């Protein structure tokens, strides 16, 4: 008889990697979109389309209701998500692509540092090895070992990108916390998280450019694609996977996003493939394989974690 836990974990790993693949395709599309619209306009419309899409899905499923549980946690997730995107989009034009990729994907390191304290997660040797391979892969892919690119850009922009990585680390960790003690359906809390994300973005639309309501066809295509294919679908897949994976394991699996982003940029933007980026991609694949094989204590919550969640 097949072990249902192993089966669930296999699905969780598959869903998480698939989410990373879809998120990875967003990088060249975002770059194309930002060539025609300003970042504040892009972020606002992207998340408005995401929210409207989820509301339509909830209506079709007959599950749209206005009863909110875990409101403080949902607000925190919305603010962390909105802040992460606003910081990233605003800083991208003032620093090198290499530094941006490196600082943003340091979220995997922040999750590793914070999850033992906030979620009482333990680290196996395999998970630590996966984290090290993943970090090495990030460095290889982001810099091509040409560290001269790391002196480009402005200090404030670099700090904004580092903080955006911390925001997403908190977003990942507290999504896990939400899943661990929420009885709501995944689509329901997704809808509320996106609503609070939108609320956190709205005040910054005063900084948007003059063409806020008059966008080109390519701009709308980028917005709709990144809203649905690169947010609604992967966010759902990732949350379904997160039910059976630790936050740190999930974060390492999501490094598949970087590999896809590199090859998508080669295809769409005609960016060159280098030896070091290929080696980095292999390191990330090794990291994903290491944490995919087995996770000790999968699906079990420690007494300390349960006590933390009950008191939160």
Rg (CA), the chain: 19
φ and ψ at residue 232, rounded to 5 degrees: -60, -50
State how far the Cα of 265 lies from the Cα of 160, in Å rounded to an integer.
24
Length of the chain: 312
pTM score: 0.81
Residue listed under structure tokens 């329901």: 188
Burial class of residue 69 in the structure, from the number of CB atoms within 10 Å of its CB (0-12 exposed, 13-18 middle, 19+ buried): middle
Residue 300, pLDDT score: 40
Sequence ranges of the domains in the chain: 4-311
Per-residue pLDDT for the chain (312 aa), expressed as one digit of tens each? 555 555 788 899 999 999 999 998 888 888 888 888 999 999 999 999 999 999 998 888 877 776 777 788 999 999 999 999 999 888 876 766 656 777 777 788 888 888 888 888 777 787 788 888 888 888 887 777 777 766 665 778 878 888 998 999 999 999 998 887 765 678 788 888 999 999 999 999 999 888 899 899 999 999 999 999 999 999 999 999 999 988 888 988 888 887 888 788 778 877 777 888 888 888 888 888 887 765 444 444 433 333 333 333
State how far the Cα of 96 lies from the Cα of 267, in Å rounded to an integer.
21
Residue 83, pLDDT score: 95
List of residues 6+ apart from 240 with CB closer than 8 A: 11, 12, 15, 186
């Amino acid at each position: 008889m097949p072990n249902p836990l192993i089966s669930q974990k296999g699905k969780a790993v598959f869903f998480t990697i698939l989410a990373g693949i879809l998120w990875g395709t967003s990088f060249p599309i975002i770059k194309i979109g930002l060539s025609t619209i300003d970042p504040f306009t892009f972020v606002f419309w992207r998340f408005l389309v995401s929210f409207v899409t989820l509301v339509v899905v909830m209506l079709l499923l007959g599950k749209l209701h206005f009863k909110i549980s875990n409101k403080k946690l949902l607000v925190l997730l919305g603010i962390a998500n909105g802040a992460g995107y606003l910081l990233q989009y605003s800083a991208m034009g003032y620093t090198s692509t290499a530094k941006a990729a490196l600082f943003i994907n340091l979220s995997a390191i922040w999750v590793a540092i914070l999850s033992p304290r906030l979620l009482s997660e333990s680290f196996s040797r395999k998970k630590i090895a996966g984290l090290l391979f993943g970090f090495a892969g990030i460095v290889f892919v982001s810099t091509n070992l040409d560290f001269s690119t790391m002196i480009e850009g402005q200090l404030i922009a670099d700090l904004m990108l580092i903080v955006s990585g911390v925001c997403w680390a908190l977003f990942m960790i507290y999504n896990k916390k939400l899943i661990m003690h929420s009885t709501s359906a995944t689509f329901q809390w997704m809808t509320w998280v996106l609503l609070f994300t939108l609320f956190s973005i709205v005040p910054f639309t005063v900084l948007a450019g003059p063409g806020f309501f008059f966008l080109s066809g390519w701009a709308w295509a980028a917005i709709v694609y990144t809203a649905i294919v690169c947010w609604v679908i992967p966010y759902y897949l990732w949350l379904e996977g997160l039910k059976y994976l630790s936050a740190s394991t999930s974060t390492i699996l999501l490094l598949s996003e970087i590999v896809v982003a590199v090859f998508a940029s080669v295809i769409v933007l005609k960016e060159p493939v280098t030896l070091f980026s290929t080696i980095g991609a292999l390191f990330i694949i090794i990291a994903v394989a290491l944490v995919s094989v087995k996770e000790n204590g999968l699906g079990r919550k420690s007494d300390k974690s349960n006590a933390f969640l009950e008191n939160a």
